[in-house]
């Protein structure tokens, strides 16, 4: 059925002070599994390979996630057709399939279904407020029809566009979360995180926060600034955090997309499960209660969040039956030196090596410094031409 069997909504849970664990980054996880193409990053797999999407939802649910986000990221028709990206399915078919899969799995456990909208190519190309809002209106039709539990406006680099999204999402009467992909320096127009948060709450968001683009440490800094801004303005909100599973101490204002390793050589930066426990604890201590993940998060990362916060939540996720607390299951190992690692102080203090002696620990981001309205960001339906690519290659050669 379309009705969630859990009657307790997102706001009831957060109002009660409960921890809500978000799921991980489907686009990246499914790209690694061979179901998503990097570049367009569109979610046609929901219609093409529903079994793959369903299985990933199940793994995140088993790992302790309380939210199943519909795999609808970027499935607006302007994005699906952008740069010659040909589709066998319409945006509506993909989005309906995605909603059904998320609901099916959410009903297998204690999870809520969230429908999401993200920043649009149209905004980058300086289309009007009405044109951009029309895209969001079209996207939420399916979320209303499929009766998702709440809505998320996530992955916005400009707070203005996020405000427009929140205003549209509010018209459904469902709870609305708003998540920007910005760092402590603010959005791409340099609106501070505190001011961004105030604007989103005033636009009608119940939950505000940060997702993607930066590691947990950086996202945590940014959400704390948002919390200060909201408090200073005398407003109230819940806060969410869904960072990358990659260490990004060297990122500029546009986050990991500017790193030379993006997107195919990020593996050396992946957080361990122990890094994730530290993140979960720090987020909780900061007063954030919606704690999840974005690109790079695999189910074992999500399980680490749930395990770290098990004392507060009063239970472990199902997936913990195959995982001892802080490596305790290693006590069953045949080798005595591995058995000796079955303890918290070993894993918590370990400095893992990358095994790459010729590699630096930090990179220099690209930072081309272009934002909304710049000719390089005008989006088009035709495939990127050889001349356009050559110009980009030349530009990259000169910047290094």
Annotated binding site: 212, 294-295
Cis amide bond preceding 211, omega within 30: no
Closest CA to 151 of 110, 182, 179: 179
The SS3 call for residue 205 is: coil
b/e 50-88 (16+ beta carbons within 10 angstroms → b): bebbbebbbbbbbbbbbbbbbbbbbbbebbbbbbebebe
Structural contact between residues 4 and 107, judged by C-beta atoms closer than 8 angstroms:
yes
> Cα dist. 105→6, 61, 184 in Å?
12, 8, 35
Strand 112-117 and strand 207-211: pairing? unpaired
Q: Which residues touch 180 (CB under 8 Å, ≥6 apart)?
A: 156, 157, 159, 162, 187, 193, 196, 200, 209, 210, 211
∠ CA 103-301-28 to the nearest 5 degrees? Answer: 65
Annotated binding site for Zn(2+): 212, 294-295
Structural contact between residues 24 and 298, judged by C-beta atoms closer than 8 angstroms:
yes
Beta bridge pairs of residue 239: 208
Q: Which residues touch 88 (CB under 8 Å, ≥6 apart)?
A: 44, 47, 48
DSSP E strands, 289-366: 290-291
Cβ neighbourhood burial of 300 (10 Å; 0-12, 13-18, 19+): middle
Closest CA to 64 of 320, 271, 283: 320
The SS3 call for residue 373 is: coil
**What is the C-alpha radius of gyration for the chain, rounded to an integer number of angstroms?**
21
């Amino acid at each position: 059925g379309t009705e969630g069997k859990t009657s307790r909504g997102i706001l009831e849970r957060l109002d009660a002070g409960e921890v809500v664990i978000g799921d991980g980054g489907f686009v990246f996880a499914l790209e690694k599994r061979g179901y998503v193409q990097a570049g367009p990053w569109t979610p046609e797999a929901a219609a093409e390979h529903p079994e793959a999407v369903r299985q990933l939802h199940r793994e995140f649910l088993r790992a302790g996630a309380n939210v199943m986000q519909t795999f609808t990221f970027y499935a607006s028709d302007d994005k699906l057709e952008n740069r010659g990206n040909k589709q066998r399915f319409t945006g509506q078919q993909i989005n309906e399939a995605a909603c059904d899969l998320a609901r099916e799995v959410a009903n297998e456990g204690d999870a809520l279904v969230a429908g999401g909208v993200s920043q649009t190519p149209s905004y980058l190309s300086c289309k009007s407020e009405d044109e951009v809002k029309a895209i969001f209106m079209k996207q939420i039709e399916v979320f209303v029809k499929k009766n998702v539990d709440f809505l998320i406006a996530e992955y916005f680099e400009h707070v203005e566009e996020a405000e427009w999204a929140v205003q549209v999402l509010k018209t459904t009467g469902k709870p609305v979360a708003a998540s920007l992909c910005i760092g402590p320096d603010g959005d791409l127009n340099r609106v501070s995180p505190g001011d961004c948060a105030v604007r989103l709450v005033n636009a009608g968001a119940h939950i505000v926060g940060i997702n993607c683009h930066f590691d947990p440490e950086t996202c945590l800094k940014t959400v704390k600034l948002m919390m200060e801004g909201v408090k200073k303005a005398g407003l109230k909100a819940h806060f969410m955090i869904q960072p990358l599973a990659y260490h990004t101490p060297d990122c500029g204002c546009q986050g990991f997309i500017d790193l030379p390793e993006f997107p195919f050589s990020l593996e050396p930066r992946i957080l361990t499960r122990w890094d994730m426990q530290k993140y979960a604890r720090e987020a909780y201590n900061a007063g954030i209660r919606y704690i999840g993940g974005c690109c790079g998060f695999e189910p074992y990362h999500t399980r680490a969040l749930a395990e770290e916060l098990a004392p507060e939540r009063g239970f472990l996720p199902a997936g913990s039956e195959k995982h001892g607390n802080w490596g305790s299951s290693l006590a069953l190992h045949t080798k005595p030196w591995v058995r000796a690692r079955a303890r918290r102080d070993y894993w918590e203090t370990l400095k893992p090596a990358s095994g790459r002696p010729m590699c630096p620990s930090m990179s220099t981001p690209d930072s081309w410094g272009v934002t909304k309205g710049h000719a390089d960001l005008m989006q088009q339906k035709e495939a990127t031409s050889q001349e356009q690519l050559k110009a980009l290659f030349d530009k990259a050669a000169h910047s290094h």
